[in-house]
Structure 1
Amino acid sequence: MLGRCAARALGALRGLREGAPPARSPGPSRRLLSSEKVSDENHSLPKPCWSKDMRLLFDQFMKKCEDGSWIHLPSYEYIATQRSQDFPTFIHASELINKEKLSQGRLFTKSFEDGLGFEYVMFYNDAEKRIVCVFQGGPHLQGMPGFFHGGAIATMIDATVGMNAIVSGGIVMTANLNIDFKRPIPLCSIVLINSQLDKIEGRKLFVSCNVQSVDKKILYTEATSLFVKLDLEKKFD
């Protein structure tokens, strides 16, 4: 979650708050994260593997973005490495990891071929501190035959509430995630993941979430989470 998409999402929010046209999705005033290996392909744009329903939902939310009330958040393939002057904490931690392996790091949700794993797009409402993620899961996310694996749902919940915490508080990490699985989700279906920032207490950000069917008649999952804004000057082992 500490990737280039977060930096661009924060940049888009800055642009909106400063009165820039929302359709342009302006980049950040300064690069929060940099990388030696970065793919510029935005994976939150329509693909041939997207179903008709997912494309329709995308178009509906893009329509909401026209007046600036919602922002379309980009999504990229590679997690960025950090500049030492900006992120001493992570540079210290990365010294414990083989540099070659670190350079091969790739966002987990983007490690599947198109249509087989995680296909999703997120939209953010700054006034309501809310993110809606349109998620289409592929056949390689199966758990029990015919249904999504619970870990795949947990991954997308963490990605959604985590992005909500990032755009609200900056660089954060998950401290706690509680998930209540109410109903199994049929494999290859489309769901809406609704995330809401509930409160901020110092460095702590509390975010809640639910997973619903597209028609909002079925509640599949509920979750609460706690994120902690990192102290970038503090080193850890």
Structure 2
Amino acid sequence: MMRSCTAALRTLRVLRCRLEGAFPAARHPVLARRWFSTEKVIPKDQALPNPSWSKDLRLLFDQFMKKCEDGSWERLPSYKNSKLVKEQLSQAQLFTRGYEDGLGFEYVMFYNDDEKRTVCLFQGGPYLQGVPGFLHGGAIATMIDATVGVCAAIPGGIVMTANLNINFKRPIPLCSVVVINSQLDKIEGRKLFLSCDVRSGVDEKILYSEATSLFIKLDPEKSLT
């Protein structure tokens, strides 16, 4: 798995050199935006396999794609940018999709509507290191929040985190694959209560973290400011 991280870093260096050599404007953010302004941008679904995915992540992906065949599970697409942002925030992008392939957050989510469950298959890249050799606690907290957030948003609409409690049981090795299981436990008015656990990929025998969360359903007619 560490080989995939090394390969990802090497690929990033090569791409950066090629980009700066072929397009001098890429060194300057304003000029870069002008350079590419006439090109039509086609959104890329980030929740699909790429060369940085490990064998374990690909194996889990294939297993869940088979579960999707009977309609019980659904793969959720993921994009860097949202069409819902205002024009002045056009440069904004999803926090977990801000890294090059293999360097940061690599993940795909699946949802089961009958069970009100969301499962996230996650591989943390070398840029998410905390203690040497292990994933930063804030990185796994981010993915837990993202997973339970999706689990809450599908039935609840526009929601925001009100509370997130995480018990870290064991450190997660960098570049390893984990399975984040999220469950909607109950709904009380505008409040959605969820639980979550993080386990080792493929076998799910090692429990890394447990969490509970509270999300609040927002009124889309009211401003957040």
TM-score range, shorter chain: 0.7 to 0.9
* Counterparts of residues 55-204 of structure 1 (less than 5 Å): 55-81=58-84, 100=88, 102-204=89-191
The CA distance in 2 between the partners of 1:158 and 1:110, in whole Å, is: 14
CA contact (8 A) 1:124 1:130 kept: yes
Match of 1:86 in 2: none
1:166-189 per-position Cα deviation (integer Å, ceiling 9, x unaligned): 111111111111111111000100
Structure 1 letter corresponding to 2:65: M
Aligned partner (choices 216, 220, 224) of residue 232 of structure 1: 220
Q: Which runs of 5+ in 1 are unaligned?
A: 1-36, 83-93
Note the C-alpha offset of 1:52. Answer: 1.0
The 1:38–1:166 alpha-carbon spacing in structure 2 relative to 1, beyond 3 Å, is farther
Q: Percent identity?
A: 73
CA contact (8 A) 1:176 1:227 kept: yes
Q: Secondary structure at the match of 2:70?
A: coil
TM-score, normalised to structure 1, is 0.75
The CA distance in 1 between the partners of 2:66 and 2:158, in whole Å, is: 29
Pair 1:217 & 2:205 matched: yes
Structure 2 letter corresponding to 1:227: F
CA contact (8 A) 1:38 1:78 kept: no
The CA distance in 2 between the partners of 1:38 and 1:79, in whole Å, is: 13
The CA distance in 2 between the partners of 1:80 and 1:165, in whole Å, is: 20
Match of 2:50 in 1: 47
1:15-42 per-position Cα deviation (integer Å, ceiling 9, x unaligned): xxxxxxxxxxxxxxxxxxxxxx975210
The 1:48–1:236 alpha-carbon spacing in structure 2 relative to 1, beyond 3 Å, is closer
Q: Which has the larger radius of gyration?
A: 2
Structure 1: which 4+ aligned runs deviate by more than 4 Å? none
CA contact (8 A) 1:161 1:209 kept: yes
The CA distance in 2 between the partners of 1:175 and 1:80, in whole Å, is: 25
Note the C-alpha offset of 1:158. Answer: 0.5
Q: Secondary structure at the match of 2:209?
A: strand
CA contact (8 A) 1:38 1:80 kept: no
Q: How many residues align structurally? A: 185
Q: Which runs of 5+ in 2 are unaligned?
A: 1-39
The CA distance in 2 between the partners of 1:115 and 1:166, in whole Å, is: 27
CA contact (8 A) 1:39 1:76 kept: no
Calculate the aligned-residue CA RMSD, in Å: 1.5
